[in-house]
Amino acid sequence: MSASFSIRPLRPADAPAYRDLRLEALQSSPEAFGSSYEEEAPLPLETIQARIPVSGPNAIFGAFAADTLVGMAGFAVYERVKARHKGVMWGVFVTPEWRRQRVGKALVRQVIDHASRHVIMLEAAVGLTNERARRTYHDLGFKPYGIEHKAIRIGEVFHDEELLYLDLQKPEGA
């Protein structure tokens, strides 16, 4: 059976569902995100809502099964003039019941497609031991260019991250 879901950019009205899924992500996979549950759980809904881009190139894509948000992936462009050709993919998460059904890949593909219209370099960082996410990103063309040692600290445990890039610039004449 192939599961049915659709992907679209989140809108301000999605804020409650976005907050729920984001907090689930931070709680269940703390080593996969730079932010923490403790930092985000107390934030008022308006703050979360204000983080959903409504114009410009930045976006948070949501995967919906019927009307339920089951996955998400963010995209943001660097703000400084000399870095505006680069963007970063962030906050990739699929709720456990929906994993292994290609939702993650579809979300990452959506970010890549969207990014290719706004930047020429797309960056991402992934836990070095996070085989599922690494495989997803590598399969879709991301190349590792380094390791950030002790990138994330949770209590007394440090986690290394693999740094990735995807060159979106078409070769001349292509």
Ligand X SMILES: CC(C)(COP(=O)(O)OP(=O)(O)OC[C@H]1O[C@@H](n2cnc3c(N)ncnc32)[C@H](O)[C@@H]1OP(=O)(O)O)[C@@H](O)C(=O)NCCC(=O)NCCS
Beta-strand relationship, 86-94 and 121-127: parallel
Q: Which stretch binds ligand X (CB under 6 A): 3-11, 53-61, 75-83, 103-111?
A: 103-111
Nearest residue (beta carbon) to ligand X? 104
Question: Quick check: 136 binds ligand X (CB under 6 A)?
Answer: yes
Q: Which stretch binds ligand X (CB under 6 A): 3-11, 79-87, 111-119, 124-132?
A: 124-132
Question: Quick check: 29 binds ligand X (CB under 6 A)?
Answer: yes
DSSP letter string over 102-146? SHHHHHHHHHHHHHTTT-SEEEEEEETT-HHHHHHHHHTT-EEEE
Size of the site for ligand X (CB under 6 A): 19
Amino acid at 132: R
Question: Quick check: 92 binds ligand X (CB under 6 A)?
Answer: yes
**Nearer Cβ to ligand X, position 69 or 133?**
133
Among 69, 103, 119, 152, binds ligand X (CB under 6 A): 103
User: Which residue, 130, 143, 74, 140, is CA-closest to 102?
Assistant: 140
Measured from the Cβ of residue 52, the count of other Cβ atoms closer than 10 Å reads: 19
User: Which positions touch ligand X (CB under 6 A)?
Assistant: 29, 32, 92-94, 99-105, 126, 130, 132-133, 135-136, 139
